[in-house]
Amino acid sequence: MGEFTLELNEDQKQVRDWLHGFAADVMRPAAAEWDEREETPWPIIQEAAKLGIYSLDFYAQQFFDPTGLGIPMAMEELFWGDAGIALSIVGTGLAAVGVLANGTEEQIGTWVPQMYGDANDVKVAAFCSSEPDAGSDVASMRTRAVYDEAKDEWILNGTKTWATNGGIANVHVVVAVVDPGLGSKGHASFIVPPNTPGLSQGQKFQKHGIRASHTAEVVLEDVRVPGSCLLGGKDKLDERLARAREKAKTGGERVKNAAMATFEASRPAVGAMAVGTARAAYEVALDYAKTRVQFGRPIIENQGVAFQLADMATQIDAARLLVWRASWMATAGKPFTAAEGSMSKLYASEVAKKVTAQAIQILGGNGYTREYPVERMHRDAAIYTIFEGTSEIQRMVISRALAK
C-alpha cells in the first residue's frame, strides 16, 4: 500500500496531462454543441475509446492505483473538460462498480468487458436503482425479482428512473427487491444481458444540465434473466438474507445493501467530478477578471472580485483534499468511521454550485449568456448535490457516523 502524499508521481502526472489534453482539445470545443443537442456524444466516446480512455483497462489501472488518486484525478480532468460529455464517458463506470462491488470474479470477467465494447463498436452500461417513488429512500423500492426455481431464472418487474444510459445500454445492472419484509436489506443486484425481452426505455428526461448525458426510465416487464445473473450468486444471497432475518429478530451486525455498496464506492469519485467543474468555472472567471477592464483597470484589482476569487480557489483546494483523503482511505482499506466518503461528496458538490454561481457573477451579464461556458457549468453543477445521494442524505450519513 502506497503512503499518502499530496505529490503526484511521474506516471500520474503523465496520465493527468494526457487527459487534460483530451479534455481541452476534444471535449471543450464540442461541449456547447452536445449540450444544445441533448444527445449522447457517440463520436466523442468513440474517440475516447480509440485513445484508450474509454476502456476497462484504463479504469482498472486508475482503480488499482496504490495511492487511490487515479480515479479522482481522472474524474477531475474529464469533468474540467465538460460535465455532460464526461458523464457520457464515465457513466458506464457506475454499472461496472456495481458489478465489482457485488459480483463474483466470473461475473466481473464476463460482463464488465461487454459494458464498454471496443474502439470500433463502443457500448455503454446503466446502473438502475432509483424509482419514481424511491430515490434517496431506497427502502421504498418496488421493483421485484422473483426466483423461478424450476428454470433457475429470476423474473424482474418494475420501473426504474434517472438511469444514466438507461434503455440505450448494452448491459443494465438492476437493483430489485427479493424479500419485501426486510426493507432495504432485502435487495439484490442483477445483470440484464443485451437484448433481453421485456426491458424497454421509458421517458427520456430533458434536463437542466449535463444534457449530453442520456438519462431515462427503464421499464421491466416480466424480464427473465438466468440465475447466473444474480450478482454474487444465490448461495451468497441466501446467506445474507438469513443474517438480515436474524438481525430483524435479535439485532446484530449491519447487513450490506447492494445499492448502497455501489454508492459508497463511488461518492469520492463524484466529489472529484464536482471539483473538475468548479475548477473549470474558476479558471474562466480568473482569466476574465485579469482581462476585463472597468474604470481604467482590470476588475481583479477590485477587492470585491479578488476576494471572491480567493475564496473560490481555497474552497476548490479544500474540496480536492477531502476527495483525495477519502479515495486514499478506500484504497488503503481504512473504514470511513466519520463518513469521510460522504464528507468529500457533500463538500465538493456544494463548492461546485457556489463557485459556478460566483463565476457568473464575476462575468456579469456575459456570464449569463451562452457565449461564455460558465452558464453551462452552473447548470451542470446543480446535479452534484442531487445524484448518488443528495446533500441532505450525505449530512444524514455524516451525522449518524458522528453519533456512534
Handedness of CA 218, 224, 230, 234 (dihedral sign): positive
The radius of gyration of the chain's CA atoms, rounded to the nearest angstrom, is 22
Tell me whether residue 388 is one of the annotated catalytic residues.
Answer: yes
**Residues listed for the chain:** 404
CA distance 153 to 170: 20
- C-alpha cell recorded at residue 251: 439485532
In contact, 262 and 90? CB cutoff 8 Å: no
In contact, 202 and 178? CB cutoff 8 Å: no
In contact, 351 and 277? CB cutoff 8 Å: no
List of residues 6+ apart from 296 with CB closer than 8 A: none
What three-state secondary structure class fits 269?
Answer: helix
What three-state secondary structure class fits 2?
Answer: coil
CA distance 59 to 366: 38
Residue 102 CB burial class (10 angstroms; 0-12, 13-18, ≥19):
buried
CA distance 129 to 107: 19
Q: Cell numbers 467543474 correspond to what residue?
A: 277
CA distance 242 to 3: 39
Report the Cα 351 to chain-centroid distance in Å.
17
Indicate the pairing of strand 121-122 with strand 117-118: antiparallel
CA distance 354 to 316: 10
Indicate the pairing of strand 171-177 with strand 297-298: unpaired
Specify the amino acid at residue 101: A
Specify the amino acid at residue 76: E
- C-alpha cell recorded at residue 351: 463548492
- C-alpha cell recorded at residue 58: 484504463
CA distance 95 to 83: 18
Catalytic residue selected from 47, 264, 375, 388? 388
Active site residues: 388
